[in-house]
Amino acid sequence: MSPNGRGRSAKPDRPGQAAPLADRSATFIGSFPDPATPLDPALPEIAVLGRSNVGKSSLLNALLGRRGMARVSATPGKTQLMNVFRLPDFYLVDLPGYGWARASATARRGFRQLLEGYLTGRPRLAGVIWLLDIRHPPSSDDLAARELLAQTGRPCLTVLTKGDKLPRMRRALALQARAEELDLPPDDLLVTSSRTGEGIAELGESIRAAIAG
């Protein structure tokens, strides 16, 4: 996946414009513990992956323009199952957050198995949106997830979340730092904010492009 549409506007998006999937019907299909669960009908899938509390559910809500669609929590680790949302022509999958500090060893193993199973086993997986908090260097769990993504060869778009949390200068420095840590050009990173809507329209375009194949 590539960060489409970036650079077309230097101004942050206005929240009113920023729900690219809001005009389309979206329904919650269910929460599944088994990553091999088949979805009927079979359609392309776009998954959202990232550590617990990074803002996965908030980002899905911003994309869908529906506040309570994916559950947002201040308590990390709430989404322990894969949560599936159906759009007319594809599925959005909210994967469980990894790296929850207080998770037991068993819970961690469970997360990892679900993630591995999902990333390796889904025939219709069209792209993964991998989220990192713009304010923090990637953790060892983040790097392990990246390794897994690389091994499975799934198309991936790296997205920095919570862009609104940093003032302009610190934000530019943080973007540069994250790019260096990830060994990626800064242009390959899409900065988003579920709060202001920044980057959400571009993310919507990347999803469109990914499901179009």
Q: Which residues bind ligand GTP (CB under 6 A)?
A: 50, 52-58, 72-74, 76-79, 97, 161-162, 164-165, 193-195
Which is nearer to ligand GTP, 106 or 213 (by Cβ)? Answer: 106
Amino acid identity, residue 37?
T
Interface residues for Mg ion in 50-69 (CB under 5 A)?
56-57
Residue 54 binding partner per list Mg ion, ligand GTP, none, with a CB distance cut-off of 5 to 8 Å that depends on partner kind: ligand GTP
Q: List strand residue ranges (DSSP E) for 51-104, in order.
A: 82-87, 90-94
Q: Which of 87, 94, 88, 90 is nearest to 32 (CA)?
A: 94
Q: Closest CB to ligand GTP belongs to which residue?
A: 97
79 contacts Mg ion (rule: CB under 5 A): yes
Strand order, beta sheet including 27-32: 27-32, 82-87, 90-94, 45-50, 125-133, 156-161, 189-191
Q: With contacts defined by CB under 5 A, name the span among 6-14, 49-57, 143-151, 171-179 that binds Mg ion.
A: 49-57
For the chain, the distance separating the N- and C-terminal CA atoms, rounded to the nearest angstrom, is 10
Q: With contacts defined by CB under 5 A, name the span among 18-26, 61-69, 78-86, 150-158 that binds Mg ion.
A: 78-86
Q: Which residues lie across from 131 on neighbouring strands?
A: 50, 159
